[in-house]
């Protein structure tokens, strides 16, 4: 029987298992080469046991657009890439270098210059910019640059190369009729639309050793109405196989529905598998696939059933680089789960390096490493058992410190419980379970039902207090607000919602509550003061798109730009555009936000010189803020 840990080969590339690190963009030096942090980042994933590391897209030229990530276009880029590859090789991982001719209409770094594309279509991020179609000589130039960059990858010690031809990026723009309206040899029929890609494959083959594998990442189904369907995708796969590629990485989606390509917390497990299976059935080359295979049993089953030859992990390897080793050793319970928040992606598109909400060491593997325990006895009191408090306690034990955690409720998790309340957010509950288990395994002294008060703190003698008391629901000054149920009470299953529900507030809590209630209710309405829902949430585009689609699919009504003026036991009244409207309902939820619970800071300072206030106790924010602040509060202790 096939297993996740079989030894296999793709061309001349021998692999120790069927797990690959899926390609994700990375930041680099000013000249486009890999930075030291990026090299450490890849090395850590190789150390964690992935059999194949696929880099993010390395652009082969900046002639037509600004560099979005890393670049492999010059002999001087080889040195840093070689360092990356060598360090991955030390752990038995092979490295596939992904090459890209560009982003085309997807380029996001320049809002002023119309980008190049296959046709004269609108730019994605800047719709008022109409793209400039590439001239044939420009295409030929990029083809030659692809070949040259492949030779540079060989110089750097790459085990294989991959062509970046998916997801609505430049090559896929040529593949797609909605963006390719050309009338020359690069437009029209599918064969013509794929000509650019096939010429790139030929150029790569001319510039690499015989037997060195070429992989192509492509999108056979874009999953957007009116866009490419699987029937054309199957024909694309056959054309690519006939071109002599050694393996195909099968993707779905494009930026119009980005969550189809890059999984979110709302995505189902293995949500691309139907497309991956369809391609596997029509070609003979190995199929690679990713898309929420982070649960070990889901990944194993895809291989055992022959749906995939290689399973890709992307953001899950940011959350826990050691997923492969832990699964191989039967330590599934020790995996820190990815929660699909896409803070990593948001950081990259905001001009920062990668961040991972649940792994503070991501992309800072050396800079943020914990000092090794040296026998120094230090003591830490953590107040609050939410994500920030649990992370602080775990980190303290990892440093060898004595730590006690006080939590006034009867369970750890804090505001993660309402965050994970909807059935489509069960990954948050997995995070609670994982962190609570590590507290237990590491020997954190957990005192549930212990409320911190100035009196309880009076006799405390510790080296540091981490105040992680979180936040409480805000109660807006609306007449009759006492008739509303706090959304957190619904999300923690303390109360049931009615059949006709109105929700005050269209942030994450309100919108997710609405989507959770809607399938079981007759009507659900969100009333939001801002011009639209989710405006204050600062979520990545794919998460925002996915949740908005759920709002539409589940029939949630949105009344935005409205001010609630009264709540009764069976109605809610709001004002909008000078009109007053009363909605009859049998349930009103208050999801008007949160306020910091920081009242104990002075009491803590009275008994301890070192006090760190972390997470929502500082201000209501995100899981990332809580976990990172909890970690660093203890990491920097001397």
Q: Which residues pair with 270 in a beta bridge?
A: none
What's the pLDDT at 110? 85
What's the pLDDT at 91? 98
pLDDT tens by residue, 218-275: 999 999 999 999 999 999 999 999 999 999 999 999 999 999 999 999 999 999 999 9
Mean pLDDT of the 545-570 span: 98
Q: What is the mean pLDDT of the chain?
A: 97
Q: How many CA atoms lie within 13 A of 109 on its CB side?
A: 13
DSSP, res 176: -
State what percent of residues in the chain have pLDDT above 70.
Answer: 100
Residues 6+ apart with CB under 8 A from 327: 4, 296, 299, 335
What's the pLDDT at 542? 96
Mean pLDDT of the 606-627 span: 96
Q: Is the pLDDT of residue 349 over 90?
A: no
Assess contact for 19 and 290: CB atoms under 8 A: no
Q: Which residues pair with 572 in a beta bridge?
A: 567, 583
What's the pLDDT at 638? 92
Q: Is the pLDDT of residue 27 over 90?
A: no
Query: pLDDT class for 618, splitting at 50, 70, 90?
Result: very high
Q: Is the pLDDT of residue 309 over 90?
A: yes
Query: pLDDT class for 85, splitting at 50, 70, 90?
Result: very high
Query: pLDDT class for 281, splitting at 50, 70, 90?
Result: very high
Q: Is the pLDDT of residue 588 over 90?
A: yes
Mean pLDDT of the 73-82 span: 97
Helix axes of 36-47 and 78-89: crossing angle, nearest 10 degrees: 20
Q: Is the pLDDT of residue 67 over 90?
A: no
Task: Enumerate domains of the chain plus CATH numbers.
Answer: 8-349 (3.20.20.70), 379-465+597-635 (3.40.50.720), 481-592 (3.50.50.60)
pLDDT tens by residue, 456-494: 999 999 999 999 999 999 999 999 999 999 999 999 999
Assess contact for 4 and 18: CB atoms under 8 A: yes
Closest CA to 154 of 261, 82, 89: 82
Assess contact for 1 and 33: CB atoms under 8 A: no
What's the pLDDT at 354? 85
Mean pLDDT of the 100-122 span: 94
pLDDT tens by residue, 141-156: 999 999 999 999 999 9
CA pair distance 630, 636, nearest whole angstrom: 11
What's the pLDDT at 49? 98
Task: Return the C-alpha torsion angle 563, 566, 572, 578, nearest 10.
Answer: -40
pTM here?
0.96
What's the pLDDT at 180? 98
Query: pLDDT class for 363, splitting at 50, 70, 90?
Result: very high
State what percent of residues in the chain have pLDDT above 90.
Answer: 95
Q: ∠ at Cα 263 (193, 42), nearest 5°?
A: 90
Query: pLDDT class for 320, splitting at 50, 70, 90?
Result: very high
């Amino acid at each position: 029987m096939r297993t996740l840990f079989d030894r296999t080969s793709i061309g001349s590339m021998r692999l120790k298992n069927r797990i690959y690190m899926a390609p994700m963009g990375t930041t680099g030096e000013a000249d486009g080469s890999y930075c030291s942090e990026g090299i450490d980042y890849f090395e850590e994933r190789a150390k964690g046991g992935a059999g194949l590391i696929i880099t993010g897209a390395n652009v082969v030229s900046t002639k037509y657009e600004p560099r979005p990530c890393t670049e492999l276009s010059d002999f001087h880029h080889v040195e840093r890439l070689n360092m990356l590859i060598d360090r991955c090789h030390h752990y038995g991982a092979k490295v596939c270098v992904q090459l890209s001719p560009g982003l085309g209409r997807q380029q996001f770094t320049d809002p002023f210059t119309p980008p190049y594309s296959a046709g004269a279509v609108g730019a994605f991020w800047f719709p008022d910019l109409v793209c400039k179609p590439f001239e044939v000589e420009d295409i030929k130039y990029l083809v030659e640059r692809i070949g040259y960059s492949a030779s540079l990858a060989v110089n750097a010690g790459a085990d294989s190369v991959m062509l970046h031809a998916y997801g609505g990026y430049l090559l896929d723009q040529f593949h797609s009729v909605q963006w390719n309206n050309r009338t020359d040899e690069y437009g029209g029929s599918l064969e013509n639309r794929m000509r650019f890609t096939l010429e790139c494959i030929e150029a790569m083959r001319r510039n690499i050793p015989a037997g060195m594998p070429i992989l192509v990442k492509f999108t056979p189904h874009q999953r957007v109405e009116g866009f490419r369907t699987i029937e054309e995708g199957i024909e694309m796969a056959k054309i690519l196989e006939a071109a002599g590629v050694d393996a195909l990485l099968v993707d779905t989606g494009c930026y119009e529905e980005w969550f189809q390509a890059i999984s979110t917390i709302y995505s189902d497990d293995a949500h691309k598998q139907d497309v991956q299976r369809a391609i596997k059935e029509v070609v003979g080359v190995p199929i690679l696939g990713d898309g929420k295979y982070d649960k070990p049993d889901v990944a194993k089953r895809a291989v055992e059933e022959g749906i995939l030859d290689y399973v890709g992990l992307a953001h899950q390897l940011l959350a826990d680089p050691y997923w492969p080793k832990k699964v191989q050793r039967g330590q599934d319970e020790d995996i820190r789960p990815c929660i699909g928040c896409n803070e990593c992606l948001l950081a990259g598109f905001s001009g920062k390096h990668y961040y991972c909400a649940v792994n503070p060491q991501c992309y800072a593997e050396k800079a943020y490493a914990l000092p090794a325990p040296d026998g120094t006895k230090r003591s830490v009191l953590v107040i609050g058992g939410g994500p920030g408090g649990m992370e602080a306690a775990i980190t303290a034990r990892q440093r060898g410190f004595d730590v006690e955690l006080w939590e006034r409720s009867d369970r750890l998790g804090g505001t993660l419980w309402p965050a994970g309340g909807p059935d489509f957010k069960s990954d948050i509950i997995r995070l609670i379970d994982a962190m609570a288990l590590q507290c237990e395994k590491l020997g954190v002294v957990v005192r549930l039902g212990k409320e911190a008060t100035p009196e309880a703190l009076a006799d405390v003698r510790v080296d540091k207090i981490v105040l992680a008391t979180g936040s409480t629901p805000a109660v807006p000054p609306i007449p009759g607000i006492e008739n509303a149920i706090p959304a957190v009470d619904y999300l923690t299953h303390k109360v049931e919602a009615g059949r006709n529900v109105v929700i005050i507030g269209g942030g994450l809590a309100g919108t997710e509550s609405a989507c959770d209630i809607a399938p079981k209710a007759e009507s659900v309405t969100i009333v939001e003061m801002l011009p639209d829902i989710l405006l204050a949430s600062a979520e990545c585009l794919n998460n925002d798109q996915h949740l908005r689609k759920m709002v539409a699919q589940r029939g949630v009504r949105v009344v935005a730009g409205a001010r609630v003026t009264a709540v009764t036991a069976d109605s809610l009244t709001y004002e909008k555009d000078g009109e007053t409207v009363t909605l009859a309902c049998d349930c009103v939820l208050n999801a008007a936000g949160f306020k910091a619970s920081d009242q104990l800071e002075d009491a803590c300072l009275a008994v301890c010189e070192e006090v760190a206030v972390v997470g929502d106790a500082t201000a209501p924010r995100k899981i990332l803020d809580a976990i990172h602040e909890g970690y660093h509060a203890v990491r920097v202790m001397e």
